[in-house]
Amino acid sequence: MKFLDQAKIYLESGHGGPGCVSFRREKYIEFGGPDGGNGGKGGDVYFEAFDTLNTLIDFRYQQHFRARPGEHGSGRNKTGAGGEDCIIKVPVGTQILDEDKETILADMTKAGQKILFLKGGDGGFGNTHYKSATNQAPRKSTPGWEGQEMAVWLRLKLIADIGLVGLPNAGKSTFLAACSNAKPKISDYPFTTLHPNLGVVRTGERDFIIADIPGLIEGAHKGQGLGDRFLGHVERTAALLHLIDITEDDPAKSYKIIRSELKKYGAGLIEREEIIALNKADALGPELSADIAKDFEKKTGKKPYIISAVSGENIDPLLFKLAEIVYKSKEDEKNKDKEDQPFEPT
C-alpha cells in the first residue's frame, strides 16, 4: 500500500428539508385545518479514528464528502426523514487542519474516537407550526436551513513510541529490519527510505513501535534533500534513537548536524529524550570502535552505544533500554490522567 500522509478534502453537511403546506380534507370529517409537517434534519459530518488504517491513500481517490439532505415534510403532520450522516474514517494520529495548514481543528489520537465536525441544517417548519387562534389556516412554510461547507487538510502523524533519526546511509532501515518484522527497502545508496516505516519490537514481555523516517541532511529545514516534513511522524514519540555511521570521518559532526535540524524544526523534538548509537561497528572492529566512541563522547558529552545492525552486536541492550524509556513514559502518562480526573465523592 502506498504511503500518503497529507490530503485536502472538501466537506458538506446535509441541508434541512423544507416544511410542507397542507390542509386536512377528508370526507365526513367536520373540522379540517393545517397539517403540513416539518422537514427533516440534514445529515452531520463525523470523523472517526480507526487503528486498522495507517495511511491517507483513500483520500487521493475521493476528496468530496457530503452528508444526505433531510426529506420534505408532508401532510398529516408527517416530519420528513433525517438525512444520513457522513462518517469519515481516518487513521489514529490524524490531525484535521484549517486551510492555512497551521490551525489544528481536531486531533484523532485514540482508536474509536469520534467527533461531530459539521452539523447538518435543521428542517424547515410546515404550516402546522404557524397555526394559532388568530391564524387558523396559515399558508406559510419555511425552507430547510442550509448545511455547512468546509475544506480541510488531513495530516497523519504516525503513533510510534521511538523515533529513528539520522543522516542518510546511517543504517536506520537495516536496524529496523534487524529488530522487528518490518521489511523496509535497504540499499547502499542515500535516500533509500522515501517514506516512514513502522516496526513492532518485542523485548521479553514489552512491545513498542519504532518509526523510521527518511534521512535528514544539513539544510533539511530549508527543503534540501527530502526536507524535514516527515519529522512530524516522530513528534509523538517517547524518545529519539539517533543512529550515526561510525565509519564516517567525524561522527560528532554528523550528530551536531541532526541536532541543529531538530532544533530548527521545533515541536519540542530538541528536548525529547535521546539515545545515541554508533552503527556499523562490525566494519571497524571492537578496539577502533571503542576509540571512536570515546572521542565522540569527549566532543559531545554524550555516551553512545556501539552497535552493528548487520551482525546484531549490542542490539539487545539497546532495545531493552528503549523499552524501559517507553514503559516509564506510559506509566507517567497514566498517572497524569488519574491526577487530571475530577474527584468524585463516594
Instruction: Write down the pLDDT at residue 182.
Output: 66
Q: Are 173 and 150 in contact (CB under 8 A)?
A: no
Indicate the pLDDT class of residue 102, thresholds 50, 70 and 90.
confident
Given the candidates 2.70.210.12, 3.40.190.290, 3.90.79.10, 1.10.260.40, the CATH classification of the domain at 1-156 is 2.70.210.12
Q: What local confidence, expressed as pLDDT, does residue 343 receive?
A: 47
3-state SS, 9-63, equals EEEECCCCCCCCCCECCCCCCCCCCECCCCCCCCCCEEEEEECCCCCCCHHHHCC
Q: Which residues are bridge partners to 198 per DSSP?
A: 211
Sequence ranges of the chain with CATH classification 3.40.50.300: 162-336
Whether 266 shows a pLDDT value over 90: the answer reads: no
* Residues of each domain in the chain carrying CATH 2.70.210.12: 1-156
Residue with cell 495507517: 54
Across residues 25-54, what is the average pLDDT? 90
Vertex 77 angle, CA 123 and 124, to 5°:
15
Query: What radius of gyration do the chain's Cα atoms show?
Result: 29
- Identify each DSSP E strand in the chain by its residue range: 6-12, 45-50, 64-66, 86-91, 94-97, 104-108, 114-118, 149-156, 162-165, 197-203, 206-212, 239-245, 273-279, 305-306
Q: What is the mean pLDDT of residues 262-273?
A: 85
Cα–Cα distance measured from residue 148 to residue 255, given in angstroms and rounded to the nearest whole number: 49
Query: 4 with 55: CB under 8 angstroms?
Result: yes
Burial label for 276, CB within 10 Å (0-12, 13-18, 19+), is buried
CATH of domain 162-336: 3.40.50.300
pTM assigned to the model: 0.76
Residues belonging to the chain = 346
Residue 325 scores a pLDDT above 70: yes
Mean pLDDT of the chain, nearest integer: 86
For 225: left if phi > 0, alpha if psi spans -120 to 50, otherwise beta; the answer is: left
Helix (H, G, I), strand (E, B), or coil: what is residue 141?
A: coil
Candidates 160, 153, 243, 229; CA nearest to 195 is 229
Residue type, 8: K
Classify residue 254 by its DSSP letter: H
Which amino acid is located at 145 in the chain?
Answer: W
pLDDT for 305 equals: 93
The pLDDT value given to residue 219: 67
Average pLDDT over residues 305-316: 90
List, for residues 3-18, the tens digit of each pLDDT value: 678 899 999 999 999 9
**DSSP 3-state of 163:** strand
